[in-house]
């Protein structure tokens, strides 16, 4: 046998040995059980909640603005004071408005004098017209028709002058009323009973009319703190699950050791769009809906604009069959046609596999150490468990962790519990 032939046989022998080792390792790896966390399907009480954040606001809040412009000469309240409706709040310099009232009063007096004179002229014109008509009736030769017409014209003019004078009086009185109203508006009174939660001005500043900008013209804010709301923003995917009257548990950051109960009183019909930046730098628009929650027993020292978090209870299930949330996964699962279903239209050979399978939610059920994927239908979600509507039964063992193990798990894979028997028994007991 030549040297070349000996080397060839040796190479073939090495390949066979290596292949055998690899095959043996693969067989052992295939038969090796994957360590997972197992759990039995059981029943428990589930509570479905929607969590949202927002801030505390009073049910009634009034921003006090000025209807007239002028320098503030006196402020009678401080931030945090309790006021009643009609209490004096602040004074704006009334000098120019008092002068306007005096001018308006003089205009009224002048217009009334003109009206008296016009009425006197009207009476005189009436008497002259009556005499002319009587003389024309009794002694037509002593008066001409032209004189009668002139008397009639004088009467008509006097009537028009009287009406114009009366209109001038009404106009002057309206101007006086406006001037008096403006003068009264220099004394600003409390519109509601509540607490001064914000004082935006100081004595000596100029109060401006807040017609075009509430922030510019704001003097103070008064809030009725007898009814407190938690206004939160709920995502569009969750708002459809809410209903007016849902029970709510509210946690206020300023009161870390206490939670407050309430109920949903208002759900907005239109959304608010807010821009959010992603890691890639793109801007997404989040769609949130405002939801108002009325607190049942708010603390006495609560303040507006405090941050809060609300847990809104949308559904409750007593004794519901449930599985851990982490156990639910998605796999490509074959969908078999049911009896009585008409045959589908012919499909191409390459589309057959796609037509028979789709993404299906399910769990891995363990029987005799082998995990089999089984589709399930879930209902409401609690904090850690899903309600199971169909697919599994109470007492069946399923793979409940870890997340990595469930993600990589394949159908018909051998599994074993990662928890020792003694620990598992202790936990079960």
CATH number at residue 403: 2.40.420.20
Whether residue 84 lies inside any domain: the answer is no
Of 277-286, 298-307, 374-383, the poorest mean pLDDT is in: 277-286
185, 217, 250: which is the final residue of a domain? Answer: 185
Does residue 116 have a pLDDT over 70?
yes
Confidence band, pLDDT 50/70/90 cuts, at residue 10:
low
Q: Are residues 257 and 330 in the same domain?
A: no
Tokens of 91: 């004074």
Angstrom distance (rounded) from CA 383 to CA 324: 9
Report field, pTM of the whole predicted structure over 0.75: no
Treating both helix axes as pointing N-terminal to C-terminal, what angle do 95-138 and 145-184 enclose, rounded to 10 degrees?
160
Q: What is the pLDDT of residue 417?
A: 87
Q: What is the DSSP letter of 254?
A: T
Average confidence (pLDDT) over 325-334 = 86
Backbone angles phi, psi at 336, to 5 degrees: -85, 140
| Helix, strand, coil share (%) of the chain residues, nearest 5 | 35, 40, 25
Q: Are residues 416 and 361 in the same domain?
A: yes
Angstrom distance (rounded) from CA 37 to CA 406: 10
Instruction: Give Cα 424 to chain centroid, integer Å.
Output: 47
Q: Are residues 288 and 328 in the same domain?
A: no
Question: What percent of the chain has pLDDT above 70?
Answer: 81
Domain span at residue 109 reads 95-185
Q: Are residues 386 and 300 in the same domain?
A: no
Q: Are residues 327 and 424 in the same domain?
A: yes
Whether residue 3 lies inside any domain: the answer is no
Angstrom distance (rounded) from CA 249 to CA 23: 60
Tokens of 254: 């300023």
Q: Are residues 309 and 231 in the same domain?
A: yes
Whether residue 343 lies inside any domain: the answer is no
What does pLDDT average to over the chain? 85
Alpha carbons within 13 A on the beta-carbon side of 13: 6
Confidence band, pLDDT 50/70/90 cuts, at residue 363:
very high
* Positive/negative CA dihedral, 12, 16, 21, 27: positive
Q: Are residues 298 and 272 in the same domain?
A: yes
Collect all residues with Cβ–Cβ distance below 8 Å to 399 and sequence separation of at least 6.
36, 37, 38, 327, 363, 364, 366, 371, 405, 406, 409, 415
Q: If DSSP states are collapsed to H, E and C, what string results for 281-319?
A: CCEEEEEEEEEEEEECCCCCCCCCCCEEEEEEEEEEEEE
Angstrom distance (rounded) from CA 392 to CA 262: 37
Tokens of 416: 């074993």
Whether residue 253 lies inside any domain: the answer is yes
Q: What is the pLDDT of residue 427?
A: 41
185, 208, 237: which is the final residue of a domain? Answer: 185
Measure Cα distances from 429 to 38, 121, 410, 420, 425 in Å: 16, 114, 31, 14, 6
Highest mean pLDDT among 273-282, 343-352, 358-367: 358-367
Q: Are residues 420 and 370 in the same domain?
A: yes
Whether residue 7 lies inside any domain: the answer is no
Of 134-138, 152-156, 240-244, the poorest mean pLDDT is in: 134-138
Domains in the chain, number: 3
CATH number at residue 242: 2.40.30.170
Average confidence (pLDDT) over 334-356 = 47
Whether residue 212 lies inside any domain: the answer is no
Of 43-57, 60-74, 206-220, 325-339, the poorest mean pLDDT is in: 325-339
Q: What is the pLDDT of residue 359?
A: 84
Q: Are residues 241 and 163 in the same domain?
A: no
Q: Are residues 299 and 327 in the same domain?
A: no
Q: Are residues 296 and 363 in the same domain?
A: no
Q: Are residues 378 and 391 in the same domain?
A: yes
Q: What is the pLDDT of residue 280?
A: 56
Angstrom distance (rounded) from CA 353 to CA 366: 27
166, 185, 204: which is the final residue of a domain? Answer: 185
Residue closest to 366 by CA, chosen among 388, 328, 396 = 396
Whether residue 181 lies inside any domain: the answer is yes
Whether residue 78 lies inside any domain: the answer is no
Does residue 27 have a pLDDT over 50?
no
């Amino acid at each position: 046998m030549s040297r070349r032939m000996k080397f060839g046989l040796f190479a073939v022998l090495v390949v066979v040995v290596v292949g055998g080792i690899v095959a043996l390792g693969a067989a052992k790896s295939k038969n090796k059980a994957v360590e997972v966390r197992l759990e039995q399907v059981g029943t428990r009480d589930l509570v479905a909640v929607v969590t949202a954040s927002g801030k505390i606001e009073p049910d009634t809040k009034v921003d006090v603005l000025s209807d007239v412009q002028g320098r503030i000469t006196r402020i009678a309240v401080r931030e945090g004071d309790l006021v009643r409706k009609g209490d004096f709040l602040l004074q704006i310099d009334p000098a120019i408005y008092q002068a306007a009232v005096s001018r308006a009063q003089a205009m009224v007096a002048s217009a009334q004098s003109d009206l008296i004179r016009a009425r006197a002229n009207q009476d005189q014109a009436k008497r002259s017209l009556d005499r002319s008509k009587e003389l024309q009736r009794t002694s037509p030769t002593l008066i001409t028709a032209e004189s009668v017409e002139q008397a009639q014209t004088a009467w008509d003019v006097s009537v028009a002058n009287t009406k114009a004078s009366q209109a001038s009086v009404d106009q002057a009185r309206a101007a006086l009323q406006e001037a008096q109203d403006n003068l009264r508006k220099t004394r600003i009174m409390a519109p509601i009973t509540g607490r001064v939660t914000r004082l935006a001005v100081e004595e000596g500043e100029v109060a401006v009319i807040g017609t075009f900008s509430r922030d510019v013209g704001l003097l103070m804010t008064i809030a009725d703190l007898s009814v407190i709301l938690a206004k939160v923003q709920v995502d569009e995917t969750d708002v459809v699950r809410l209903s007016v009257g849902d029970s709510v548990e509210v946690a206020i950051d300023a009161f870390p050791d206490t939670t407050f109960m309430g109920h949903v009183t208002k759900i907005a019909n239109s959304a608010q769009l807010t821009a959010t930046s992603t890691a890639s730098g793109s801007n997404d628009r989040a769609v949130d809906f405002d939801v108002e929650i009325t607190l049942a027993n708010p603390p006495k020292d609560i303040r507006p604009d405090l941050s809060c978090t609300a847990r809104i209870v949308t559904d409750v299930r007593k004794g519901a069959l449930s599985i851990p949330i982490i156990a639910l996964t998605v796999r490509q699962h074959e969908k078999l046609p049911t009896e009585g279903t008409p045959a589908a239209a012919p499909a191409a050979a390459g589309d057959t596999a796609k037509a028979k399978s789709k993404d299906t939610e399910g769990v891995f059920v363990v029987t005799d150490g082998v995990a089999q994927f089984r589709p399930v239908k879930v209902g409401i979600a609690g904090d850690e468990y899903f309600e199971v509507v169909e697919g599994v039964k109470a007492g069946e063992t399923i793979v409940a962790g870890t997340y990595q193990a469930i993600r990589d798990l394949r159908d018909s894979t051998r599994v074993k519990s990662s928890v020792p028997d003694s620990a598992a028994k202790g936990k079960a007991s």
